[in-house]
Structure 1
């Protein structure tokens, strides 16, 4: 059963230097036809798997940039979602957004269409760093858009921040954190830069032209992040996410709980009926498949029991609460200590994991080397 739905809008007015998601420049793209194709895909999927869409908790519009669409296009998209997805049970409906694209008209269309959470890509409050990473908004856009969103009725607003950016200093990071926290929002996400293949930054890095902070400085930035969030009363509920009580991202928790969700759109990924799948990325291939009456799946993989256990561990350990004994045993009919006896014992001895009657979780020390911890739970089938 799907708990959530992810819908991919692969269009951007500006391509960020670090982004490796499936995306296309907005101009000269078949945007209207793509929205119609999304509706067709939702119709095909809900008809083929009706039981999986009876009770949906969350919907997430991602990209690309959903707010690259015009108000009319957003309205059409939301109308199609309402047509095929039962919204009665949906408690969280998120749209990603760029601060310089959220006009009053777009915000009103989103609000009227059922969206009740905004996730804004702010990344930094340093204009020089924003230009380096390919962002086009200003701090004024951020302040004005948040004020406008609140006026229209949005109270669940999150912003993304990034650290470990090219040439970024600790002073710049602390300043961005301070300006972000001064907004008094209920949720923040903060990610370190990862230089991914097929990005502008990757090409610069390969040529020796991308100058990044040292690993020690990046670790110090993460340390400052955790300290400042705690001082502001924001609970760290996941490695990179902080929230006031009751404002945790329900959609992302579906991923970290290793539960199932549907993915719609070009390049979208999903996990249904024990099968992980991905859609065609190129627009033409995606749209041709849908128009032919076929689900646009290009790859699918039935997850083995061993893989499910591994995913339960490395996804669950991203959460501050970690992996809960009771939930693990309900899913796999055995304690996790049976499947990972020495792994857990060794990580506890190194001070990277805590282990008690509730479950296991990363220590504060373990959060700095999370990926190294997660790798210990990847066993051969």
Structure 2
């Protein structure tokens, strides 16, 4: 069954402080005050275009939903809950801060049919959180997760932001290890980009902050994805969603790319196939100059070849003595087949993260 998300953007609603990286108006492309009327109209407009034989979810993005007053939360949730009771939508999702969760808030969310909560964690290193002006601590995250887990009604998502001020690869790995221990139902990974008109932009212009390069961020996030994959924790989004407002004019610096998630997947395929080729190089010295054919399904072509054939170019430099060829075929979608020395080896892409 197809899944659709009806997005309702509430930029800066409920936010009690301004994080160094935050310019929600540019991220969401919305600056409009949202009320019950707007929410109902947004949902109706989307439903007119969507196929009802689908799983449809209303998602409140931006701001910190549960930091709003209970009355405002009820106002915004009410039209979504009406459509939920009529079975015109199947789920309601909200995003919020870890320090804006308690039992009263959670019971209210249950009353209005909310079934998915996303927490903007960003990091689980207190020094990184402080430097980023998050206004909450690692301990706040742990308390919020424990409170949410008391209720079976909710699926829990955690959002992280590699590359924040004072962040390092080691701190990022420790954050992901702690995320794994918290056992969320899913994760979003948003590498830190420098948006105009933010505190981070000021730090960047004053040479007090250096963002990750695109290449660094791809390698960084590849490691994080491998760790999460190994614990069966899905990543539902990697990299900021491309919008008309999120473009080169608004992104001052940092690893923004509209297809960032695919670049990370391509890096993981590169690492996996490279490991296989290294084994051939080690154990089959007599195989040099002979043909190696990598068979793959059409849908994997860009991931295996890399952006602008970057993976192929790197393999050509590293293994100049291999005659590498690539062939698309209608094989099982979860497998890559590699033919060499008249033998065919199969790589299960579901296990490629175990490299």
Aligned-partner SS, 1:182 = helix
Call closer, same or farther: CA 1:47–1:18 in 2, change over 3 Å: closer
Does residue 22 of structure 2 align to residue 19 of structure 1? yes
Asked if the contact 1:166–1:213 (Cα under 8 Å) also holds between the matched residues in 2, the reply is no
Aligned-partner SS, 2:182 = coil
RMSD: 4.3
Asked if the contact 2:238–2:261 (Cα under 8 Å) also holds between the matched residues in 1, the reply is no
- Counting only pairs closer than 5 Å after superposition, residues 128-207 of structure 1 correspond to structure 2 as 128-207=127-206
- Counting only pairs closer than 5 Å after superposition, residues 2-151 of structure 1 correspond to structure 2 as 3-10=4-11, 11=13, 12-22=15-25, 34=33, 38-44=35-41, 51-52=48-49, 55=52, 57-83=56-82, 88-151=87-150
Asked if the contact 2:238–2:260 (Cα under 8 Å) also holds between the matched residues in 1, the reply is no
Deviation at 1:120, TM superposition (A): 0.5
For residues 277 and 199 of structure 1, what CA distance do their matches in structure 2 show?
15
Does residue 226 of structure 2 align to residue 227 of structure 1? yes
Match among 357, 371, 374 for residue 330 of structure 2: 357
Structure whose CA Rg is larger: 2
Asked if the contact 1:59–1:92 (Cα under 8 Å) also holds between the matched residues in 2, the reply is yes
1:142-162 deviations in whole A, cap 9, x for unaligned?
111111112133441010111
For residues 327 and 17 of structure 2, what CA distance do their matches in structure 1 show?
43
1:8-48 deviations in whole A, cap 9, x for unaligned?
2222111111112129xxxxxxx9xx55xx32234555677
For residues 245 and 218 of structure 2, what CA distance do their matches in structure 1 show?
34
Call closer, same or farther: CA 1:319–1:90 in 2, change over 3 Å: farther
Aligned-partner SS, 2:7 = strand
- In the superposition, the TM-score normalised over structure 2's length comes to 0.62
Moved more, 121-130 or 1-10: 1-10
Gaps of 5+ in 2: 27-31, 247-257, 267-297, 300-305, 316-325, 337-355
Deviation at 1:164, TM superposition (A): 1.6
For residues 187 and 48 of structure 1, what CA distance do their matches in structure 2 show?
28
What count of residue pairs does the alignment treat as equivalent?
A: 268
Corresponding position of 2:29: none
Higher relative contact order by CA 8 Å / sep ≥ 6: 1 or 2?
1
For residues 215 and 206 of structure 1, what CA distance do their matches in structure 2 show?
19
Gaps of 5+ in 1: 24-30, 241-251, 257-268, 270-275, 279-312, 322-334, 337-342, 364-381
Asked if the contact 1:236–1:320 (Cα under 8 Å) also holds between the matched residues in 2, the reply is no
Aligned-partner SS, 1:79 = helix
